[in-house]
Every structure is written in structure tokens, then in C-alpha cells.
Chains A and B, each alone.
Chain A
Amino acid sequence: MPIFKSIPVQNCVRRPVRTAALILLSAFLSFSVLAGSLVISGLRNGLNSLETRLGADIMVVPYEATTKAALSGLILQGNPGYFYMNKSVVDRLSSVSGVGQISEQFFLASSTASCCSYKVQIIGFDPETDFTISPWVQRTYEDELGDMQVLVGSSINAFKGDELTFYGSTVQVAARLDNTGTYLDTAVYANEDTIKTLISAAKEKKIFNFGDVDPQQIVSCVLINVDDGYSVEEVLNDINLHVKGVQAVQTQSMISDVAGKLSGVSDMTGSLIVVVWLLVIMIMSVAFFLISNERKKEFAVLRMVGASRKKLLSILMKETVLVSALGSAAGAALAIVLVSAFSNLIESMLDLPFLIPEIGGLGLITVCSIAVSVAAGTLSASLSAYRISRIDTAVVLRGDNG
């Protein structure tokens, strides 16, 4: 018998309202499970991505930039900003014992740019010494970044070959970078010479109060990896003690704040999933109970024409699995679409980096969520199905005329 003609399929197809209601419940269940899981794993991915991109043990910034809110706002949330210190600090830092890899970065906030209706952060780096941005950039762009060329983060509305204007200076987009789910997605990247040109242009236009800053003699921050055999705390303390006018910050401590917040959001989302899950299972159990009561006589007819108790159980469970699978797939699809569409909103509402898992991880989470939802649907129907399989056919079929 073709599958579409089988009794469970006919029962589902020919009772569209009942089937739609059950599909909707299953969809809600799988939506809540998958959307919740995606939010949790997106936040974890974002944190991992942030850890990888920061990629340095210590960040050294001008002392006045270290009010933690301002610094973490720039580093973790991508709030455009700038601060500078004299370039000589790099030499002084290099001489501190335990300082290994060292590289400087330059920050500039755009006033307006042709790409965007909002300010963007421009980050300059030295490709010769950089060890945090380059590994990620090289995944998309392997060439050397030329003068007046920039790379744009995935959230910037510009593409390879486009021209952007900052402070009257035109730069060309060399490539658009992979999504990271962090502040780096909303930034523009340039080499040291290009950003110094842009800082000079900004200074000339007097848009920001740069004071007597000489663009050729400044850096915004210095990133340091500690040599083997030294502890990060030891080197950090040495810098703060011996290098005047700067503050060294352990990047891990900035991330631990994010991790703490993430843990809170994860716990809350997890609890919410469990509550929704239990609630929907209860509603589905009641729905299946009512439906099975309404269909008692139908199952009695099946018994009468030769269905065993096992067969009744199988028919009802096949219907349940079919409806749960359809609903779960629909709910999962909706969860993926909505979470993807609103990932930026989630990121800004939670104030945390957010990165949807890549296709393999996404597929695994989706399959698991569908499996959990189908299992929950089956579980909620199992008691009703067992009850139906034990019905007293004679009593159900008997009318008033004993």
C-alpha cells in the first residue's frame, strides 16, 4: 500500500484542522528548543571568536583610555572611538622582560562614511608585526594591503572595488572579511600608512579635538604576547610599574566579564527552554488525550475489523511521529530564519558578541532539536496511545440496546 494511502497518513491529511493544531504545537516546541540552542551556541561562538581575534595576552592603552567601560565598549561592543599615545612607548614596552610578540594598532572613528549612516571604527595595523588581525584577514585576503586600500568587516555595506570616503580621503575596498560576530564586523581595516593619512585628514578638518597629536608619532594600543617562561600577570605588573602613562590590561579579564554575562544569559535561556518544553508537552498530552477520546469509536472499529492492540498503538504512534516531524521541521526552519535575520538585534540587545554556528554545527543542532521535539511529541502521545490500545472494544461499540 503506498505510504500516502496508509491509514495514519489519511487520518492526518483528511483532518487538516486537527493536524494543523498538532503541527503548530510541535513547531512551537522545536522552535523554542532550536532558537534557544542557537542563541546559546551563537553567544558561545561569539565569545570564542572574540577570544581568537583578541589573540593577545596583554593590551596596552593610554592611561586615560582605561576607564574599563570605555575600553570594553570599544573592544567588545565596537563603539567607535579613538585614543592615542606616543609611539616611543613601543620601544619602552619591547624592553620589558617577558614581552614576546608585540604589535601596535591605530584607532580612528569616522564622522560619516559613504557606506554607512553611522560612525564606523577604522583600525590600522602593521602587517609586518601583526599577529591578531592578519590570521583572520588572510582567510579572505591573501595579498598585501596597499596604501589607501581597506578591508571591511562583514557588517559594513561595501564590497570589493567600492570606494569609500573618510574625511575627504578616498580609499578602495580590497575585500570584505568573514563574519566574526564581534565588534570587528563593524570596523574598517587599513595599513599603518593609510590610517595615518586618514588621521591627518581628520585632524585637518578639525572634526575631533586631536590637540597637538602628530599622526606620524602615535599609536592607539599595543598588543603583546608573553614569552614562554613568563606569567602574564608578572609582565603586566612590570609594565604598569615601569612604563609611565599607559595601562596594561589582561585581555582574558575583559573576556571573563563577557563570559560571566554569557553564562547568565545561557542559564536563563536554558531554563526558559525547559519551562516551554514542559509546558508544551503538557498541552500536547492534554490535546492527544482529548483527541484519542474523541476517536475512541474509530479505534473500536479498527479493532472490530481485525486490528490487534499492537496495530492500534502503531497507527497512533505513526500519526504522532508524522505530525511531530512535520511540525518540528517547520519550527526548526522558522527558528533558523528568525535567529539569522535578527542576529544583529540579539547581539545589540544582549550586548554580547554573537556568531551563528557554521553549517556543520548548525545542521547538528537542528537535527538534535528536531529529534528532541519529535521525541517529546511521541512521549506526550504515548500514554493516550497506550490507553487507546487497551480500549474495551465491546463497551465502546455497544449502544443502548444491550
Chain B
Amino acid sequence: MILKAESVGRRFFRKRNGSNFFYAVQDVALTLRSGQLVALFGRSGSGKSTLLNMLSGLLAPSDGCVLLDNTNLYQMEDGALSQFRNEHFGVIPQGQAALQSLTVLENVLLPCTLFHDSTPQTEARAMALLEQTGIGDLRDVRPSELSGGEMRRMAIARSLIRNPDVILADEPTADLDDENTKVVLKLLKTVAEQGKIVFIATHDKDTFDYADAVYHMDAGKIKKEE
């Protein structure tokens, strides 16, 4: 499976340097293949999250296109694209994102319940993922009771519940201590080795030790690190 960004750019309307808009991402060409863990490194505001959002089908590019194999994401209707994202993409967002009215287990199962696909098997898989991320004992706890690191691990488990082809992670180790950083990166590496595409935007240089390739992003442009 190949996730490809072809001359992708994203323009935002904002006054900057005498212009009414600026490019958060500019003319990015990127090819991600199954079985690879690829890291994207860059400063804050360099365009990493914007690129991840475009790759996941959440933000339509101003220029270029995004293809998963030969499917052009942004040529689909919203309903079809949403279902496509549910089936093929696991997204780990920045910050703490969860439904406060659901328990940790229910949040992990959310991609399944949304499509009425919550079965004893998916529940067992959710429990296994919670155990792997080290928060199995917190299954019945509400998100408001979790620490930042625990919330992040819950988001990782949620991104993997549908066994998606592509994992897009935005700072997945941001709130984690060294030990848990290693656990999460090992888990994502294992997922990549199982034939998935794993793409991580990060500040954390520890990620490089697990990455098959590292890209550097600056002012919306991407460059492969040699």
C-alpha cells in the first residue's frame, strides 16, 4: 500500500509579510510505503500538523492531491471519505482529544461503535491494545481522570482499533516519560513491521532510532534527512 502526496500545498488566509495569505505547506511530494515507520521532524509552525491533516483526509489541500494506492482522497464525497478514513486511517491527534462522556474503553472502541461494529471481538482487541499501551487497568475510567500521558496512550490504542493501513501520529510521545516513550515507539514500530504505513510528526529525536526514514520540515517545505 502506498500513501502519496503529489505537489501538495495548503494556503491559509492570513496577513503575513505584506501578503493576505501564506503557505503552511508548499509543494510537498512524499511517498510512504507499507512496512515503514517514517518520522517528520520540524520546529513549531513548520507545517507538520497541516501536512498530517491533509494526508488523513481531514484538510483539503489548496494544491495537489493525496492518494492512497490509486484512490484520490479529496475526490470523494464527505460521507464516503469519512468512512474511508474510518477503515484505512488511524489518527493520533495533538493534545488531549476524547469524548468526555465515554470511558477509556468506549473511547478506544469509538471508531467501531460509530459504524455499529462493536463486537466482543473488537472489545477484546481494545482491551489488548490498552494492555499494550499500559493503561489496561484504566478501562472504566473517564478521560477527565487521566493524565496527559495516559490520554495520549488511549489515543494511540484508539488509532489502532480498526487495524488501519495507515497510522498518522502527531507528537505521539509528547506527554510521555522515557519508559512510556519507548513502549509507544516500539508498539508503532511493530505495527509498521506488520505491513502498515506509520508516519510520525515529532520533536522527539528518540523517534529517529525507530524510523526507517526521517524527513525535515521547515517553512512548509519538506526535505529528506540523509
Complex: chain A residue closest to B52, CB-CB? A394
How far, in angstroms, from A304 to B94 measured CA to CA in the complex?
12
Does B79 interact with chain A (Cβ within 8 Å)? yes
Q: Is the interface of A mostly helix, strand, loop or mixed?
A: helix
B44 within 8 A of A: yes
Q: Map CB proximity to B onto A363-387 as digits: 1 under 8 Å, 0 otherwise.
A: 0000000000000000000000000
Given A10-B101, A10-B106, A402-B45, check contact A394 B58 (CB 8 Å): yes
Among the stretches A99-107, A236-244, A295-303, the one at the interface with B is A295-303
How many chain A residues touch B (CB < 8 A): the figure is 31
Instruction: State A300–B49 Cα separation when bound (angstroms).
Output: 15
What residues on B are CB-neighbors of A68 within 8 Å?
none
Once A301-B99, A308-B79, A394-B58 are accepted as A-B contacts, the answer to whether A402 and B24 lie under 8 Å apart by CB is: yes
- Evaluate contact between B53 and A400: CB separation under 8 angstroms: no
Nearest A residue to B203, CB-CB: A401
> Considering the complex, which residues of chain A in the window 275-317 have a beta carbon less than 8 Å from any beta carbon of chain B?
297-298, 300-311
Q: Is the CB of A398 within 8 A of B94?
A: yes
| Contact residues in A for B56 (Cβ distance below 8 Å) | 304
Chain B: residues with Cβ within 8 Å of the partner, total of 43
Chain B residues contacting A7 (CB-CB under 8 Å) are 99, 102, 113-114
Contact B58 A303 (CB under 8 A): yes
State the CA gap A400–B142 with chains docked (Å): 25
Q: Is residue A86 contacting chain B, with contact meaning CB distance below 8 A?
A: no
The answer to whether B82 touches A398 (Cβ under 8 A) is no
Cβ of B97: which chain A residues have Cβ within 8 Å of it? 297, 300-301, 304, 397
Residues 1-40 of A contacting B (Cβ, < 8 Å): 1, 5, 7, 10-11, 13-15
Query: Are B101 and A15 in contact, with the CB atoms below 8 A?
Result: yes
Indicate if A393 sits at the interface (CB-CB under 8 A): yes
A360 at interface, CB cutoff 8 A: no
Question: At the interface with chain A, which of B83-91, B191-199, B206-214?
Answer: B83-91
A229 within 8 A of B: no
Contact B59 A306 (CB under 8 A): no
In the assembled complex, the Cα of A302 lies from the Cα of B106 at a distance in Å of 13
Q: Judging by beta carbons under 8 Å apart, are A399 and B94 in contact?
A: yes
**Does A309 lie within 8 Å of B94, measured CB to CB?**
no
Chain A, residue nearest B158 (CB)? A305
- Give the shortest distance, in Å, between B153 (CB) and chain A (any CB): 16
| A-B contact sample (17 more), CB < 8 A, given A5-B113, A310-B79 | A10-B102, A15-B101, A298-B98, A298-B100, A301-B93, A302-B110, A304-B58, A304-B85, A304-B97, A305-B114, A306-B85, A392-B59, A398-B49, A399-B49, A399-B95, A399-B171, A401-B94
8 residue pairs A–B, Cβ–Cβ below 8 Å: A7-B113, A11-B99, A298-B100, A301-B110, A302-B99, A393-B58, A397-B95, A399-B95
A-side residues, CB < 8 A to B, are: 1, 5, 7, 10-11, 13-15, 297-298, 300-311, 392-394, 397-402
